Each structure stands twice: as C-alpha cells, then as structure tokens.
Amino acid sequence: ETTPSRTLVPDDVGAYLRVKVRAHNADGWSPFVSSAMTAQITEPQAPVSTKLPSFSGTVREGETLTADVGEWSNNPTSFSYQWQRCNAQGASCSNIPGETANIRVITGGDVGNRLRVVVTAANAAGSSSAASPVSDVVAPQGAAPANTAPPAVGGDAEAGKTLMVSNGTWTNNPTSYA
C-alpha cells in the first residue's frame, strides 16, 4: 500500500507491520527509511469492565436515578442499560421490564426493595455486561429521616474548648440537620 494510513484486516492478526517512507523535493527522492515494527497485531477484544457501573440520586419513591457506565477496556462503541429490582437483602435481582434508559424514576413498586443497573458495553468484537452495586432499600415518598446511630459530641469538655457534633447516621437521605 502507498497511503499514509491502513485499516488492519483479519489476515493481519499475528503479523508485525512497519512502514517505509521517503521524501521528495526539487532535487529528487531520498532513500527509503523504515519505521520500527509495530506490536504484534491481535484479534479485537470485546469490552471488559475495569470499574463497575454505578448510579447517583436519592433512593426514594418519585426520585430519579442516573446511571454511570463505569470504566471499560477495549474501546466500547456503545452502551445499553437494564435496571433491576432486587429483594430487601440485595439478592434475587430481576429485570424491570421497559427500564432500559440511563435514567430511572423510582416507582411505588420499588419501595422496600433494592435497585441496581446492568450496563452492557459493545464494540465490533462483541459485548459484555457488568452490574452496579445494589442501592439502599427504597424508601416510600414522604418518609421522614429515621436515626440508625445516635449523634455524638466530641472534644474536651473544658471551658474555653470547642465541642464538635457528629450527626449520627440516618435513613431516608436527610438534606439538613438542626
């Protein structure tokens, strides 16, 4: 070939390639100069998850979750999504029919269960899937925060010293503390 680029073909697998280049000006042509050899040409590989997918948002009825594809090797060219509902222990996950977008509005049917998203990455060589970790248990809409670990006061209880408060741990995604 005599072009400055070349698309590799299946017959190239296992081979090593190099290029020879020469230059021209008004005084004539230079001799050919060879490049170093490429790495051995390999078969294309399907994507492989290198960082699990995840999602963000408040895990409560009526709220929206947004999927993140995570990280993949082998240059995926497309991604697809499947949201799943799992039991309260995070097991027995099954596809939620029709929930194949990267965002999902949590429904009343999700309350008391956990959710996750399965991302499938694809390229010309094939596809593979990876699932996000499961969510916390989905809370009903309007559920007030409930304490699961009490607040604490830290520091030296001495005049002139500053005490610091830890809010403790709460369910149902509090947005502020008083």
* pLDDT (tens digit per residue) in 42-54: 888 999 999 999 9
Q: What is the pLDDT of residue 97?
A: 97
Q: Span 98-123, mean pLDDT?
A: 98
On the question of pLDDT at 169 being above 80, the answer is yes
- pTM summary value: 0.65
Distances (CA, A) of 83 to 55, 97, 122, 140: 11, 8, 18, 19
- Report the distance separating Cα 61 and Cα 113, nearest Å: 11
- In the predicted structure, residue 173 carries a pLDDT above the cut 80: no
Q: Which of 166, 173, 165 is nearest to 146 (CA)?
A: 173
Mean pLDDT of 55-62: 95
Q: Which of 63, 84, 71 is nearest to 134 (CA)?
A: 84
pLDDT tops 80 at residue 142: no
Hey, what are 168's tokens?
Answer: 């403790």
